[in-house]
Amino acid sequence: MDRVFAFLTSAGLRCFLGICLTSMMCPPLFAQKKNALLMRDTLTGKDTLLIGKQFIPASPEKRQYLLEVELTPPKKVTFTPKEISFFREDGTDYRSFTLRWEGKEQPVFLPRVFFQPEDRLAIYRFIDPQKQKHYYYRFAEGELLPLAVTDSTGNVQSALTDYLLKFPVAQSDKRLQRYIRRMKPTPTSYKRRHRICSSGNLNYLPRFRWGVLAGIGFPSVELTWDDDLGRILSSDIGRQTQWYAGAFANVPLGQRGFSVHTEVTFSKVSVSLRGVTYEGKDVAYNRTMLYIPFSFRYTLVPLHSNFLPYIQAGPVLNIAIAGDMKSHIDKPDENGYIVYSPVEIEKLNRLVPALSVAIGIEMKIQNNHSLFFDIRYLTDLKDDIHFFQTSGWYLTISYNL
């Protein structure tokens, strides 16, 4: 027991417990969101850390040159970049630098707009007197360098282009190389390309794709008939087999997997009915049409796989190219003879809006080509002439060229 008591009361253990408690109660400065600043003491050479102080609001341009702090209200103190090496305001870190601008060196506060922990890459923003944004970068505590550089042909590009081209995935894929070389000298453009290089996942690479498709549908056709006497007859005609083919285009919206997917497909529906009204009319319905869906698609691109599930939904324009509805009646007269009435022909609605939802999977077979399999449900939102309405399931296979 004496040894245990001596151990518990030792100075080393007390120091260790103190460090643990301090770590739990006081998170690191960079993990805090409170305002903080690090003042330079020119006399002692030491830095003083102040946390939780109230900063006087200022515009981004003005904040680059001074920081007003409310120490003891109503006392206000103004600091310049020469007096403060670092401060944090509303979760944004500012560093003091000596920036050379228009041939002159001037001390400024630059906000850090991007930070890459693995190699300690930071990008800072500077706003010039004309309110134009300029970006600078540095690795760790190295030299601050402009992000925009001019190549031998006079084109402005990002200074981090060569850095990203050294990643293994970039060296092995020409599409990614072209994408990196088109990088703009902005943090957003860099982050998009670094996400691909650091993860090695080429599914993040946004690509415009187009191709061909074909499929088969099993829609059900329902007829609600309003005859001349105002009587309504509803008839479920049943499921019809419908083939279709066409082309598609897929336009990416960034690299998070969202895209706009549109198609143009050719299809035809033919239905014949006998005695569907109270008068016993026979009806033939024919429609040759183009389906043009405008869908928003989400693909699960974070999966580092050759099989990517996706969902999509959106409106569909059902445009009639040709077609009509013909009807006639044959019934005996008072003498028992069959009398055929003239065939009545009615034109179809030119445009019938519809809605489509789908779930599918993309299967990559080559770097530039994929097969898409999906099952979709489509329903008319507006009935065609005399209330012909189709809705049902469709199976589609697509191939991007």
Q: What DSSP string runs through 149-185?
A: EE-TTS-EEETTHHHHHTSHHHHT-HHHHHHHHT--S
Spell out the domains of the chain, with CATH numbers in brackets: 23-113 (no CATH), 207-400 (2.40.160.20)
Above 70 in pLDDT, residue 387?
Answer: no
Higher pLDDT, 118 or 64: 64
Other residues' Cβ atoms within 10 Å of the Cβ of residue 248: 21
Q: Are 348 and 287 in contact (CB under 8 A)?
A: yes
What pLDDT is attached to residue 135?
A: 96
Spatial distance between the Cα atoms of 276 and 282, rounded to a whole number of angstroms: 6
Spatial distance between the Cα atoms of 295 and 35, rounded to a whole number of angstroms: 45
Higher pLDDT, 294 or 150: 294
Spatial distance between the Cα atoms of 67 and 58, rounded to a whole number of angstroms: 8
Q: Is this structure's pTM higher than 0.85?
A: no
Q: What is the rounded average pLDDT of the residues 290-308? A: 91
Higher pLDDT, 80 or 279: 80
Higher pLDDT, 96 or 6: 96
Above 60 in pLDDT, residue 319?
Answer: yes
Spatial distance between the Cα atoms of 345 and 328, rounded to a whole number of angstroms: 9
pLDDT, tens digit (0-9, with 9 covering 90-100), for 151-162: 777 788 899 999
Spatial distance between the Cα atoms of 286 and 373, rounded to a whole number of angstroms: 29
Q: What is the rounded average pLDDT of the residues 368-380? A: 92
CA of residue 210 relative to chain centroid, distance: 19
What pLDDT is attached to residue 13?
A: 39
- Confidence bin at 259 (pLDDT 50/70/90): very high
- Confidence bin at 277 (pLDDT 50/70/90): low
pLDDT, tens digit (0-9, with 9 covering 90-100), for 82-106: 888 889 998 899 999 999 888 888 9
φ/ψ bin of 139: left (φ > 0), alpha (ψ from -120 to 50), beta (otherwise): beta
Spatial distance between the Cα atoms of 175 and 202, rounded to a whole number of angstroms: 9
- Confidence bin at 18 (pLDDT 50/70/90): very low
- Confidence bin at 29 (pLDDT 50/70/90): very low
Q: What is the rounded average pLDDT of the residues 49-58? A: 86
The structure tokens 């005695």 sit at 275
Q: Are 294 and 314 in contact (CB under 8 A)?
A: yes
Out of 41-45, 264-268, 301-305, the most confident range is 264-268
What pLDDT is attached to residue 27?
A: 44
